[in-house]
Structure 1
Amino acid sequence: MIPLLPPLPTLLLLFLAVSFHGLQLASSLNQEGRYLLQAKRGLVDAGNSLSTWDDRDATPCKWAGVSCSDSDPPSVVAVNLTGFDLEGPFPSFLCRLPSLASLVLSINLINSSLHAASFDSCNALSHLDLSQNNLVGPLPDALAKLPNLTYLDLTGNNFSGAIPLSFGRFPHIQTLSLVSNLLDSTIPSFLGNLITLRELNLGFNPFDAGPIPDTLGNLSKLENLYLADCNLVGEIPPTLGQLSRLTNLDLSTNQLSGSIPQSLTGLSSIIQIELFKNSLTGRIPTGFSKLATLLRFDASLNQLEGPLPEDIFDAPQLQSLHLHTNQLSGRIPVGISRSKSLLDVRLYQNQLNGFLPADFGKNSPLEVLDLSTNNLSGKIPTSICERGALKQLILIQNVLSGSLPDGLGRCQTLNRVRLQSNFLSGPVPIGLWGLPHVSLLDLRDNAFSGEISPAISGAANLSTLLIDDNQFSGSIPSEMGALSRLYEFSAVNNRLIGPLPSSLGNLVELGRLKLHNNSLSGELLQGIQSWKKLVELDLSDNGFKGGIPPELGSLPVLNYLDLSSNDLTGEIPIQLQNLKLNRFNFSDNDLSGAIPPAFANEAYRSNFLGNPGLCGDIPGLCPISEEAAGNHHGFTWLLLSIFMLAGLVFVAGIAWFCWRYRKYKKATDKSKWTLRSFHKFGFNEYEILDSLDEDNVIGSGASGKVYKVMLSNGEAVAVKKLWQTPKADAENTEQLVDDAFEAEVATLGKIRHKSIVKLWCCCTHKDRKLLVYEYMPNGSLGDLLHSSKAGILDWPTRYKIALDAAEGFSYLHHDCVPPIVHRDVKSNNILLDGEFGAKVADFGVAKAVEMIGKGPKTMSVIAGSCGYIAPEYAYTLRVNEKSDIYSFGVVILELVTGKLPVDPEYGEKDLVKWVFSIIEQKGVEHVIDPMLDVCYKEEISRVLDIGLLCASSLPINRPSMRRVVKMLQEVRPQNKSKAGEKDGKLSPYYYEV
């Protein structure tokens, strides 16, 4: 019997029911989970950070970054995706979560603008953190309409424009952080209406110059006010003294003027006051002693004057006082010795005088004391390290006298001691020689006496020992061979005697050994192959005897060798030719034999004088007998006569042909060339045209060849001859050449700046184009830095190059109207004159800022060179001043590391990423060019920091070129002080804080 089937409609309904039930079983995720998955679909999850977001779960409460309430059923109350490496637009689906109170998406690559519609459903949101992303556009008004928002952090994005008026109407806001964006206009006074605010952070924005609004004094609940580097001008408003709950006040790195208001001494809850790097004047007000919670006060790098307030050190919890680089005068108040919490005092570069209080250091756990470059007198207090915590004692360039306190020899915590240029005398405490943590011991330019103690073997961390210009006597102890980290030992102008201990050959880190003008004797060290890092060896003006060790020729980076004014004998070893010496001197010894061929040059004559037995092809050295001289000269003149006669015939023929050809050429072409001049000069285009032959080529690049042309007046010019266009590529390439030529002419023709190469004139004829520049005898920075001659570029020279080039780019960005973007900043486009002054060159792809982005021709020439191109170029295809700054950051890294911007050594990285990774893994010292003197390490590190800041991946984090110049100048504050520079080298009074 056949069973009866239900009707067709009934079957269809049954099938649909079963299918729907199966669908429910396959995906049981609730609606909030679906919203989260929708948000995920709009993002690129390169690191698979959201792999736990699974649609088979019933709820998203166990997903990474998701937090739910304890209610039944649970609901999503917080999403925190910090550092998940997510990329894409703001995920607005998250706002559909009805109970979402906290949303944190910081440190990702969210890269859209924020639209009002994105926050329509975020009514429950109280905490919003979108910091450290790539968000752009104006700040959205909609944020101020969120009824429950108390915390808003948009730090480290690219928001631009003014702070909108709506931001003065947040109903419950407590934290508003807009640090490091591109906000302009001025800081608005309506922010003073946000009476619920506890934190207002607006630092590092390029606001228009403007004052601090008085109305901020109305924010009675404010605890943190951060306005660093906001282009603030005018005086500090006294109303800020009304902020009784304020714990942190940071107005640093602005252009504030006037005096420090007395009202700030009424900030009863203050912990930290930062006023450094402004233009504040007048006296520091009294009354800071009343601030019971004050820990740190920094008003350095201003123009403050007058005496220190008598009560400045009486604030009961004061730990750090930085007032360096001002014009303060008078004595240091005795209150400094009463303080029980003082850790860090930096008063250097002022005009302070008088004695240090006798019991200074007795009551406070002092760690850092820097009083350099003042007029302080008297003795160093015996109690300076009584609490056993002192790490840095820096007293350079004062008039301190007397002997060093014995307590310094027991100060086991010391790591830096700099006492240079005082009137200190007597023996150095034995314990001080061997302190285990000291890395720098600088006793130069005093009147110390006695011997270097064998206790120095305990100085396991010592890398720099400087005792020049004292009265030290005795021999160099063999225990110095135990200093495994010693890089520099300099004892110039002392009374040391005896031989060099053989143990010095064990110093594998040794880079500089300078013992000039002592009474050392014996033979020079043998077995010094371990000195692989030795850059400078100066043993001149001593009594060394015997021969020069051939092993010197095996030292790979030695470039300064001075053995003059000794009693050395024998020959100059031929192995020394292996060295790449920038400076050397063997004069005033008793050397004999032949001068090695590489040194037999008239330019080196003075380096061999005073050695009667030396012979070589240098006039005035090693005279020979008259008979030998007669035979030698007769044969020589015979050969010369034959060659000269043949040469004259040949040259005459060539000259006649060239004369005829040039006469014809000039007659043909004279009327065809057009010359445009930009400066007054004493030559014509024919002098240039007649000298463009291959013998004069000094360079060749993508745009053409460069010739060195000697003019009839004895001066030289550089001529760039742009490539002629092959017919096959005529239509496109000709346009590129024309664009490059016009850009160069339009840019350089109107520029007058010491750090930008001078364009004398240009010559054109049909498709032939010539640019005539001033000649730069030392070529490009890139060619020199990455060649065997890099040793010429010591650190002071590299620093000068960086500063000169920065000033050139700053002129382009800030002083030209309209501003000019170079678009191809690289070391090969920085040229060096005879004194190694740097000048910016090659403006073939430069653009005025107002023209960038105004049409399809903007990027007709690819802007930038491999390794120098800013990362945002990959997704914006635009370059601006920030792109130049990134490229300049790479140049700074080249100067510091000596490495190329791209190299197989880095693997998949470029120089910027390589430096970041090495610093993170091994430390700064592993990226510094080993050819650089370690005594400049701290200064190099500061310049390196500037380079890394310029090369930040986020454009907003890069400083302006004007700021870069200022930061580079501040690396060497003595440039603007009475200490100054001597002989073009770093002043001996330079110090790092």
Structure 2
Amino acid sequence: MKNLKQKTFTFLFFLLLHCFTLALCLRGDSEILVRVKNARLDDPNGSLNDWVSNGESNSCNWTGVTCDSQNHSIISIDLSGLAIYGGFPYDFCRIRTLQNLSLGNSFFNGTLSSQPLSLCSHLRLLNLTLNYFAGEVPEFSPDFTELEVLDLSANNFTGNIPVSFGRFQALRVLSLSNNLLSGSIPSFLCNLSELTSFDLAYNPFKPGPLPPEIGNLTKLEILFLAGSHLVGHIPDSIGKLVALKNLDLSSNSLSGEIPSSIGGLKRVEQLELYDNQLSGGLPESIGNLSSLLRIDVSQNILTGKLPEKIAAMPLDSLNLNDNFFEGEVPEVLASNAYLQQLKLFNNSFSGRLPENLGNNSDLLEFDVSTNNFNGELPKYLCERKKLQILIAFNNRFSGSLPESYGECDSLNYVRIKNNQLSGEVPDGFWSLSQLSFLEMQDNRLEGSVSPSISRARGLTTILISGNEFTGGIPANICELHNLSVIDVSGNHFSGELPTCITGLKKLLNLRMQDNSFSGEIPSSVDSWTELNELNLSRNRFFGTIPPGLGDLPVLKYLDLSGNSLTGEIPAEITKLKLNLFNVSNNKLYGKVPLGFDSELYLSSLLGNPGLCSPYLKPLPRCSSPRPRHNTWYLAVVLTLCVVLLLGSLFWFFKPKYLAFGRKPKRAWKVVSFQRVGLIEEDILLSLKEDNLIGAGGTGRVYKVKLTTGEIVAVKRLWGDTQNPDSKVVFKSEVESLGRIRHRNVLRLLSSCSGDDRRILVFEYMENGSLGDVLHGEKGGGLLDWPRRFTIALGAAQGLAYLHHDCSPAIVHRDVKSNNILLDEEWMPRVADFGLAKTLKRDVGEGPGAMSRVAGSCGYIAPEIALSPPAEGSDNGIGCCGDLDQLIDPRMDPSSSNYEEIEKVLDVALLCTSAFPINRPSMRKVVELLKDNKLSSKIILQ
């Protein structure tokens, strides 16, 4: 009995001692947490306000802290997404029971050092993704024997992958993607036999092969090496990855054939090999991958036919676009019950598509454009009422549009141009409620536009030119308030133009040429503030030209030729800065207005017998009233005689004057891209200091008034004019810029090149540059928030045009406030293309032609320059937590603007992301700026 009491006492003593020890340890760990928080972390949102050591609170209940359920020791710290600032908190690792440390999606920064990092060798998980750590990836000590997850992705790490990374024998997940790592992908990473996820994507590695030892990672489920500068062949050992579910080798420079060993990936669900240089055909062995759901081998140089075994697979996405596949699509594809995306565009497929395609599947996206398909479009594409995208342009499809398409309420994007489709469009097709983009031009479609089109309230673009449509344009079209482009040209439309069409405020382009429209042109056009192009040529319009057209702020193309218009040309039209003007072949009369009384406009005036001009031939001279007094007549004659005499004397003595006082006239080559009354001598005489309005790295800019009264900006370029290469580059770049037509890009009117100088003539911008307005004597107070937003959106639209709509595309490479010019209405123009580069492969240019640094410091991409513009921060933008500190006080924004300002700032942060893959395209930027439903933190999918 005595022994039992003694044993019980001993047990209770040690139990109390253990509990006391645990309490002391837990209290000590709590002190560590509080000390790190106060000394190392910045918590602007107060997310860690409950981290207070007062003897009563339990740290296991603190934000981000997780404890063991039995002994209550701290095992995990997770501060992900809490917007915490600071350096790496090494002292957290003094908590010996800590297993997991997650700091992802915050604002941690600075470098990692090997020695203090050794404190964390007992960790099993270290997650630092989506932060701002920089410098080289540190070596990890051999003590990291328990580490299972290491995620350093989406930071600014540089240098090589350390050799120590090959010693993580317990590592299951390794993610280093979206950094600035160099060197090549080391083979020693293939020693990590426990890896299930291997992610090195989107790093600027040195071009090199995928190590053949990759086949050693037999437990691998995810292999993500997109954008890693891989070259050479895909190794045969890839087939040994029997556990692999996702293989992504896209956006590299892999070549050769897809190895047949890929058929060994029995569990693979997603196969991404797009955007490489792979050749040959799809191996038959892919048909053995019974778990495969998505395959994308687009943008390669693959050839051959689509194997029937692949067409029979349970795929939900098949993407073969931009290759050289040929032959017919196997019928068995139509039996696929899982197919959601079918993309076969830009190949050489022929024959008919399977008739039952879509009948057995939930098809969402269908794109077979630019092939040689014929026959009818499959009528069951929208059988499940889920089809959203229908793209079939540039084929030889015939027959009528299936009636079932008129019941496809899910459809929002249609492009079926350039086929041989005929018959009437189903009535319901015009009124699809989700439809936003409709492109059906260059077919043989007939019938009329249904009044039910008013139900398609989201429609922005109607392109139905080059068909055989008849009837009138229904007034119901005026209910589509989002319309921006209407092109009904080249049909058999008739009747009057609905006057309500002038109420479409978002209209950019209205093309109705080559029809039989009649009646008068609507005179009240005040709402067309966005209209850039108006083409009503070759119709039967009569009446006068509305003077109000001259007040449209951005109209650049006006073609009213080939009608029966009468009256005089309104003088108001001369206020427009037109790239194209044509009123020929009408019944106009009267004197040609002064702004059009030039040889440049002669062809645009012919065919109007009643027009007259005192200068232009063959137009008749305008008759003048008979003089009342002979003295007046004599005075005029004498004046003319004196002028002729003085002129003769001048030309007689001019050669001698040139011989003694001036250089002889040099040969000039003039290229005009717009219609301006340009005389080279006038330009040269105006290049003087009194007219200087600016100077930069590429030349000096002068304000010049032409003899026509128009004011232009003339830029005299620096540089070696005798260098043959320089001449070729100048010619190429000028021709590219001369073709640009966009309201937010500065127009190049003309170029002059001679032996000793090169000159560019641009439209003149009355309000100078955005940089001058914001930082110069004018002061930013002239720009309130709505005006600044308009400038930002306009500049984005101009750049989007250069990137996506020019052919070839143009990259500016020096976008800054000084290169955004403002016209009289404060509308922006992207300007100064001295550093611009067209995205085409010129002779003698290698793939690195764009790699050289170009642009002003602070405005170039970090990965192109030697170092980022703002080292260790979000380009200097993301360091401030208070929006008020970023807002220009001269703007005096109202409280209603704050949300919009914050949304625009979100877009700016995306554009200045340290990782190119996270930066949106300019087309996406325009969408984000226009979107009124931007979230407070935008995440691009």
Aligned partner of residue 280 in structure 2, secondary structure: coil
* Structure 2 partner of 1:944: none
Contact persistence 1:392–1:416 (CA under 8 A): yes
Cα deviations by residue, 1:205-256 (Å, 9 ceiling, x for unpaired): 1111111112111112111000001111111112111212111100000011
Q: How does 1:786-825 map to 2 (within 5 A)?
A: 806=811
* Structure 2 partner of 1:596: 593
Q: Structure 2 residue aligned with 1:283, among 269, 276, 281?
A: 281
Cα deviations by residue, 1:560-602 (Å, 9 ceiling, x for unpaired): 2111111111223333344333222111111223433333333
Tell me how far 1:469 sits from its aligned partner.
Answer: 0.8
Rounded Cα–Cα distance in structure 1 between residues aligned with 2:324 and 2:697: 53
Contact persistence 1:367–1:389 (CA under 8 A): yes
Aligned partner of residue 215 in structure 1, secondary structure: helix
Q: Structure 2 residue aligned with 1:775, among 759, 763, 766?
A: 759
Cα deviations by residue, 1:243-283 (Å, 9 ceiling, x for unpaired): 12111100000011111112222212111110000000001
Q: 1:359 to 1:956 in 2, by over 3 A?
A: closer
Rounded Cα–Cα distance in structure 2 between residues aligned with 1:792 and 1:618: 41
Q: 1:801 to 1:285 in 2, by over 3 A?
A: closer
What amino acid maps onto 2:903 in structure 1?
Answer: S
Tell me how far 1:303 sits from its aligned partner.
Answer: 0.3
Whether 1:954 aligns to 2:914 is yes
* Structure 2 partner of 1:140: 138
Rounded Cα–Cα distance in structure 2 between residues aligned with 1:532 and 1:772: 43
* Structure 1 partner of 2:118: 120
Deviates more, 1:261-270 or 1:116-125: 116-125
Contact persistence 1:462–1:483 (CA under 8 A): yes
* Structure 1 partner of 2:639: 639
Contact persistence 1:299–1:323 (CA under 8 A): yes
* Structure 2 partner of 1:729: none
Q: 1:431 to 1:719 in 2, by over 3 A?
A: closer
Tell me how far 1:143 sits from its aligned partner.
Answer: 5.8
* Structure 1 partner of 2:708: none
* Structure 2 partner of 1:223: 221
* Structure 2 partner of 1:754: 729
Cα deviations by residue, 1:489-546 (Å, 9 ceiling, x for unpaired): 1111111111112332332322221110111111222433333322211111011111
* Structure 2 partner of 1:473: 470
Whether 1:346 aligns to 2:343 is yes
Contact persistence 1:157–1:956 (CA under 8 A): no
Rounded Cα–Cα distance in structure 1 between residues aligned with 2:273 and 2:757: 46
* Structure 1 partner of 2:50: 52
Whether 1:396 aligns to 2:393 is yes
Rounded Cα–Cα distance in structure 1 between residues aligned with 2:391 and 2:294: 20
* Structure 2 partner of 1:520: 517
Cα deviations by residue, 1:16-70 (Å, 9 ceiling, x for unpaired): xxxxxxxxxxx99932232223323123444444333334355433433223333
Aligned partner of residue 465 in structure 1, secondary structure: strand
Rounded Cα–Cα distance in structure 2 between residues aligned with 1:773 and 1:243: 64
Contact persistence 1:197–1:219 (CA under 8 A): yes
Q: 1:64 to 1:653 in 2, by over 3 A?
A: farther
What amino acid maps onto 1:776 in structure 2?
Answer: L
Contact persistence 1:780–1:832 (CA under 8 A): no
Tell me how far 1:756 sits from its aligned partner.
Answer: 10
Q: 1:473 to 1:658 in 2, by over 3 A?
A: closer
Aligned partner of residue 110 in structure 1, secondary structure: strand
Whether 1:436 aligns to 2:433 is yes
Deviates more, 1:246-255 or 1:624-633: 624-633
* Structure 1 partner of 2:328: 331
What amino acid maps onto 1:548 in structure 2?
Answer: I
Tell me how far 1:91 sits from its aligned partner.
Answer: 1.5
Rounded Cα–Cα distance in structure 1 between residues aligned with 2:869 and 2:107: 19
Name stretches of at least 5 consecutive residues in structure 1 with no aligned partner.
1-26, 664-686, 711-715, 722-743, 760-770, 810-820, 840-847, 853-861, 891-900, 922-946, 972-993
Rounded Cα–Cα distance in structure 2 between residues aligned with 1:210 and 1:276: 18
Aligned partner of residue 145 in structure 1, secondary structure: coil
* Structure 2 partner of 1:411: 408
What amino acid maps onto 1:553 in structure 2?
Answer: G
* Structure 2 partner of 1:843: none
Whether 1:535 aligns to 2:532 is yes
Name stretches of at least 5 consecutive residues in structure 2 with no aligned partner.
1-23, 664-680, 705-712, 735-754, 774-790, 822-829, 841-848, 877-886, 926-941
Q: Structure 1 residue aligned with 2:498, among 501, 523, 526?
A: 501
Rounded Cα–Cα distance in structure 2 between residues aligned with 1:53 and 1:285: 59
Tell me how far 1:339 sits from its aligned partner.
Answer: 0.6
Q: Structure 1 residue aligned with 2:568, among 558, 568, 571?
A: 571
Q: 1:201 to 1:383 in 2, by over 3 A?
A: same
Cα deviations by residue, 1:340-369 (Å, 9 ceiling, x for unpaired): 110110100000001111222211111111
Q: 1:348 to 1:851 in 2, by over 3 A?
A: closer
Q: Structure 2 residue aligned with 1:917, among 900, 903, 912?
A: 903
Contact persistence 1:830–1:838 (CA under 8 A): no
Rounded Cα–Cα distance in structure 2 between residues aligned with 1:255 and 1:641: 77
Whether 1:701 aligns to 2:695 is yes
* Structure 2 partner of 1:245: 243
Whether 1:557 aligns to 2:532 is no
* Structure 1 partner of 2:104: 106
Rounded Cα–Cα distance in structure 1 between residues aligned with 2:760 and 2:837: 9
Cα deviations by residue, 1:416-463 (Å, 9 ceiling, x for unpaired): 111111111111111111111111111111111111122222222211
Rounded Cα–Cα distance in structure 2 between residues aligned with 1:849 and 1:543: 52
Q: Structure 2 residue aligned with 1:38, among 31, 35, 39?
A: 35
Tell me how far 1:399 sits from its aligned partner.
Answer: 1.0
Cα deviations by residue, 1:880-918 (Å, 9 ceiling, x for unpaired): 2765999xx99xxxxxxxxxx99977979xxxx999924
What amino acid maps onto 2:359 in structure 1?
Answer: K
Rounded Cα–Cα distance in structure 2 between residues aligned with 1:580 and 1:823: 25
* Structure 1 partner of 2:164: 166
Rounded Cα–Cα distance in structure 1 between residues aligned with 2:607 and 2:655: 46
Contact persistence 1:709–1:719 (CA under 8 A): no
RMSD in angstroms over aligned alpha carbons? Answer: 5.0
Aligned partner of residue 80 in structure 2, secondary structure: coil
Cα deviations by residue, 1:383-408 (Å, 9 ceiling, x for unpaired): 22222211111111111111111111
Contact persistence 1:803–1:968 (CA under 8 A): no
Deviates more, 1:628-637 or 1:382-391: 628-637
* Structure 1 partner of 2:63: 64
Tell me how far 1:184 sits from its aligned partner.
Answer: 2.0
Contact persistence 2:389–2:412 (CA under 8 A): yes
Q: 1:758 to 1:368 in 2, by over 3 A?
A: closer
Cα deviations by residue, 1:935-984 (Å, 9 ceiling, x for unpaired): xxxxxxxxxxxx997x433267689xxxx9xx999x9xxxxxxxxxxxxx
TM-score (norm 1): 0.70
* Structure 2 partner of 1:97: 95
Whether 1:199 aligns to 2:193 is no
Q: 1:796 to 1:863 in 2, by over 3 A?
A: closer
| Count of aligned residue pairs for this structure pair | 794
What amino acid maps onto 2:62 in structure 1?
Answer: W
Q: 1:790 to 1:589 in 2, by over 3 A?
A: farther
What amino acid maps onto 2:122 in structure 1?
Answer: A
TM-score (norm 2): 0.74
Tell me how far 1:319 sits from its aligned partner.
Answer: 0.4
Contact persistence 1:77–1:102 (CA under 8 A): yes
Deviates more, 1:412-421 or 1:35-44: 35-44
* Structure 1 partner of 2:673: none
Identity of aligned residues (%): 35
Cα deviations by residue, 1:917-942 (Å, 9 ceiling, x for unpaired): 24979xxxxxxxxxxxxxxxxxxxxx
Q: 1:481 to 1:968 in 2, by over 3 A?
A: closer
Rounded Cα–Cα distance in structure 2 between residues aligned with 1:64 and 1:126: 21
Q: 1:612 to 1:849 in 2, by over 3 A?
A: closer
What amino acid maps onto 1:63 in structure 2?
Answer: W
Rounded Cα–Cα distance in structure 2 between residues aligned with 1:850 and 1:352: 37
Aligned partner of residue 281 in structure 1, secondary structure: strand
Q: 1:359 to 1:920 in 2, by over 3 A?
A: farther
What amino acid maps onto 1:42 in structure 2?
Answer: R
